[in-house]
Structure 1
């Protein structure tokens, strides 16, 4: 098991010192999200500052970038880190993809599956094999020596995907090297959905489930006094209410015994009351979806 630090958006100047601190604290690596700031430049800044620290995107948005561009960036980051980079990709949701990025979002699951295969075809092309990917959404068959980054002395970057529902989890087992579990994935969800569906997908593709890493974000509440714990709980409520407002994830709350959580959060969200959104996350929610401990016990 590896333990990484998931970063919040920061300037590139701040990423170097943060990477050094992460490495000195004994963590295995850093995981970079992509929201208001892009993930790949942050990985570059961190990797240059802390050689040997493993880096991963968790996750970068796939569809606004072509598979070739994503593959080239991942290839160079894998070279920079000496084989310590993992490419994590996700679909995002329709509103962001269509209205913010201005690209297609039809059939996101099958599209992401084809995207992963296309990226891996590019990796093979960089090593000198003919580029010949013809999928449902992407066709790639031109890569001459002038435009190829060429082979590198480390293995291909692992390609992970974010998945929530059973179909996506099975698809991760089928084509990906790892799966990023959603931040509101609690232990019961892992047991009911993640592990069995990843296994089904892997076995159906003739792969070993052990070859698919399961990457689980843990919302932590850490402190040695009441003030620290209270602050941690408040931050966790904000995080869970943000992620828990998406209708596609409502079943996770419901199956954990918190029926109607998404509907209540969305009602507050539609009213623009973010404090009330966070207030919908009770101590009972925190007990199931978070890990709370003192610093020494964590």
Structure 2
């Protein structure tokens, strides 16, 4: 089973991020992903490219609104050249709060923004050296752009998608799909695959043409209670978002979601965490002692794509998150 590591960090030095990527490569992991949550992605990914030799790496995911698509294409081209073809560009919408408050950018027409961004990134990559790239969109208009580098192997573009229309767009134009940190076989069947297929049929593609990666909360400790309590906090983070609440409700946790939501609205995070039951932890995460987690990972062996193992630094110290990453790499070493 292929595995990848999903790095979601705030204060962790880039030197430590690259150290984890090197260890992931050494321990047989297929890929490492860096999230544009509190930090931007390009500098850490450049450091990873320079410190590793074989492992795939990418943005999981970068934000599409504050980042100009031509700039993204150029950054991706540089990383693809630097790494001899190991880079993957992952793009997502983020939220209006982050885009408008943190970046001062307008959040609007997300479907069109994502479509045009990917079309431009792919168009720039595939334009032959010496030719001029032109694009006439509703949001972006590019005239006579000359790509400085002709890539032998263009880098793939993955999309983070949740809603039906965005999933259909991913099926239509993206090279891969990034699924968030909370999911289930039922959610994938009823929400994801159906819409991906609609999009794929628009462009005459097969779903096999689309690579899938999915976030997977993973909390490991020699102390089982400690592992479960950390996992509760990652699940609590996801419970702030309506789409993840829907997944929980689909899986039979409607009463729990209502109580957790009330506690979160009151910013009573301690209470919200205690309301996440052991049953929810078992259902939505891999948590426990190392050998226990090895067994729990097996239930995802029939899942499509590759899991991105992670612990979200929400109400958990970043030191604990990094220690957990070290245990993930050691526990699932090949």
TM-score (norm 1): 0.91
Does residue 271 of structure 1 match 2:266? yes
Which residue of 182, 185, 204 maps to 1:184? Answer: 182
Alignment-derived partner of residue 90 in structure 1: 92
Q: What secondary structure does 2:133 align onto?
A: coil
Alignment-derived partner of residue 235 in structure 2: 240
Q: What secondary structure does 1:2 align onto?
A: coil
For residues 293 and 135 of structure 1, the distance between their equivalents in structure 2, rounded to whole angstroms, comes to 50
CA RMSD in angstroms, aligned pairs only? 1.9
CA deviation after TM superposition for structure 1 residue 53, in Å: 1.3
Structure 2 gaps, min length 5: 298-334
Deviates more, 1:177-186 or 1:121-130: 121-130
CA deviation after TM superposition for structure 1 residue 190, in Å: 1.2
CA deviation after TM superposition for structure 1 residue 11, in Å: 1.6
Q: Is the 8 A contact 2:64 2:113 kept in 1?
A: no
Q: Is the 8 A contact 1:128 1:151 kept in 2?
A: no
For residues 184 and 131 of structure 2, the distance between their equivalents in structure 1, rounded to whole angstroms, comes to 42
Q: What secondary structure does 1:31 align onto?
A: strand
Q: Is the 8 A contact 1:111 1:136 kept in 2?
A: no
Deviates more, 1:56-65 or 1:194-203: 194-203
Q: Is the 8 A contact 2:200 2:206 kept in 1?
A: yes
Q: Is the 8 A contact 1:184 1:244 kept in 2?
A: no
CA deviation after TM superposition for structure 1 residue 260, in Å: 5.2
Which residue of 188, 197, 200 maps to 1:199? Answer: 197
Does residue 168 of structure 1 match 2:166? yes
TM-score (norm 2): 0.81
1:99-138 equivalences in 2 (<5 Å): 99-125=101-127, 127-138=129-140
For residues 260 and 23 of structure 1, the distance between their equivalents in structure 2, rounded to whole angstroms, comes to 42
Q: What secondary structure does 2:233 align onto?
A: helix
After superposition, give the CA deviation of every residue in 1:68-97 in whole Å (9 maximum; x if it has no partner): 011111111111111111100000011111
For residues 149 and 209 of structure 1, the distance between their equivalents in structure 2, rounded to whole angstroms, comes to 33
Alignment-derived partner of residue 41 in structure 2: 39
CA distance 1:25–1:266, shift in 2 (3 Å):
same
CA deviation after TM superposition for structure 1 residue 197, in Å: 1.6
After superposition, give the CA deviation of every residue in 1:162-193 in whole Å (9 maximum; x if it has no partner): 01122211110011001101111122211222
CA distance 1:189–1:128, shift in 2 (3 Å):
farther
CA deviation after TM superposition for structure 1 residue 262, in Å: 4.8
CA distance 1:114–1:292, shift in 2 (3 Å):
same
CA deviation after TM superposition for structure 1 residue 201, in Å: 0.9
For residues 289 and 257 of structure 1, the distance between their equivalents in structure 2, rounded to whole angstroms, comes to 12
Does residue 48 of structure 1 match 2:50? yes
For residues 15 and 206 of structure 1, the distance between their equivalents in structure 2, rounded to whole angstroms, comes to 40
1:221-240 equivalences in 2 (<5 Å): 221-223=219-221, 225=222, 227=223, 229-240=224-235
* Count of aligned pairs: 291
